[in-house]
Amino acid sequence: MPNYADLINAYPQYDRTHDIDELRQREYSRLDRQGHIYLDYTGGGLYADSQVRQHHDLLVDNVFGNPHSANPTSLAATRMVESARQYVLHYFNASPDEYVAIFTQNASGALKLVGESYPFGKGCHYLLSFDNHNSVNGIREFAHTKGADVTYVPLMLPDMRVDEAMLDDYLELGTAGCANLFAYPAQSNFSSVQHPLEWIEKAHAKGWDVLLDAAAFTPTNRLDLSQVRPDFVPLSFYKMFGYPTGLGALIARKEGLGKLHRPWFAGGTITVASVQGDKYYLADAPAAFEDGTVDYLDIPAIEIGLKHLETVGIDLIHERVRCLTGWLLHNLSLLEHSTGVPLVRVYGPLTIPQRGGAVTVNFFDKDGKPIDIRIVEQAASARNISLRTGCFCNPGAGEIALQISKMDLAACFTQSDHVQRLTYDDFRLCIDDKASGAVRISVGMVSNYEDIEELLKFAEGLLE
């Protein structure tokens, strides 16, 4: 079993991240007090004690009312909401002259706003990588409905990256004078591959609007919107700093936002609406895209969370995650059964450049057969280890990683055409008991050496 000295020998930079250990003791002591090994940061970040206290104090010391008025409590709430909105732009270094921050319930809500409002049309194109969250995949249904073509850019094994030359060819598919949208994640929520941000301007040069899914990237990486300029950036704040849940944002370039046409209107989104006149007039952004009353009591917690991240330092967080991820990858890849069969198969890069803190794997027995991911999760839970199993709402990456072919899927979906829904067990039987999911181990802001040590001990227990 490797020890701490081995980690420092391999990653001497880890020694410069001890401020995070002090932070963990001060702000996240409940982890060690309750014996938690939390390795699901891609699923959700953890909140600091002080975030909750500051938000609580703000609420009990003030009176806030529905912002859609000019009375004192409404104006107080409006000031807090607009302060948080401006702080979102500040945090991402997005000029308010160029970008607007629209509050949504999460990243999926932000993506739905784009999908339902984007001016797809016959002959236009929606281009996206195989490696995308289902909420990005779901936009294809709006594209199909409006007659646009939908094309997926494949991934290359074993690292699960996109071939750059192939991407160049796909970007030639955009139709001149048409609304063409290219969507990809800054970081995969499946393999943790970080796709190049340089693709944004490459696509712009070919006439594409660009949607950059930043949900998995921003918790441990700096996104500077003065340096890269995607048209649409969806994100969820709980992924970044744990609290509040139920709030996200669409950070949109004003130029891109001007192309969107909402299919309906709601309270808060209009300046005037008439029943007898059968007319309505949308407000300017961001109000035009925030349906009903915003979550004005929780939105101030966003600014508190962003300031917490700034205090810790995103570069320090990034370095801690980089070191622990490299250490985890190295040691998992060394584990073998007595038969010589590797215990673990990693889906994605085995090295740390251009990758994030999620390590997605399957475990195999001594005969090379996959161990059911449900058994792995159950065994981990018995040791108070929180990890995640499944395909993580990223079927494209999962199908490539697990080598589930289009033929496998076609046969499966044809058999199930007569039923309303397909269960996981039905799907697994349908693809002849191939591995249909994986185990994702993701480190984050306050992960430490001991977390990885416990995970490796757990993995060793699966040998033989």
Q: Scanning the structure block, which residue is given the tokens 């985890």?
A: 328
Q: Is 301 left (phi over 0), alpha (psi -120 to 50) or beta?
A: alpha
Comparing 310 with 352, the larger pLDDT belongs to: 310
Determine whether 393 is an active site residue. Answer: yes
- The pTM score is 0.94
Contact at 8 Å (CB) between 300 and 84?
yes
pLDDT at 412 over 90: no
**How many angstroms separate the CA atoms of 239 and 133, rounded?**
14
Contact at 8 Å (CB) between 170 and 127?
yes
Q: Residue 76 burial (CB < 10 Å; 0-12/13-18/19+)?
A: middle
**In this predicted structure, what is the pLDDT of residue 349?**
95
Query: Phi and psi dihedrals of 230, rounded to 5?
Result: -65, 155
**How many angstroms separate the CA atoms of 249 and 53, rounded?**
23
Q: pLDDT for 325-336, tens place per residue?
A: 999 999 999 999
**In this predicted structure, what is the pLDDT of residue 169?**
97
pLDDT at 420 over 90: no
Q: Which residues contact 299 (CB under 8 A, 6 or more apart)?
A: 80, 81, 84, 103, 247
Q: Which of 323, 393, 412, 430 is catalytic?
A: 393
**In this predicted structure, what is the pLDDT of residue 228?**
98
Comparing 411 with 316, the larger pLDDT belongs to: 316
Direct distance between the N- and C-terminal alpha carbons of the chain, in angstroms, rounded to an integer? 17
**How many angstroms separate the CA atoms of 117 and 285, rounded?**
13
With CA atoms as reference, report the closest residue to 117 among 261, 233, 286.
Answer: 261
Instruction: Identify the bridge partners of residue 385 per DSSP, sorted by sequence position.
Output: 37
**How many angstroms separate the CA atoms of 109 and 247, rounded?**
9
The C-alpha angle with vertex 168 and arms to 122 and 166, in degrees rounded to 5, equals 100
**In this predicted structure, what is the pLDDT of residue 402?**
85
pLDDT at 192 over 90: yes
The C-alpha angle with vertex 387 and arms to 383 and 391, in degrees rounded to 5, equals 140
**In this predicted structure, what is the pLDDT of residue 406?**
75
pLDDT at 295 over 80: yes
pLDDT at 421 over 80: no
Q: Tell me the mean pLDDT in the region 248-257.
A: 97
285 token code pair: 């952004």
Contact at 8 Å (CB) between 233 and 83?
no
Q: pLDDT for 133-188, tens place per residue?
A: 999 999 999 999 999 999 999 999 999 999 999 999 999 999 999 999 999 999 99
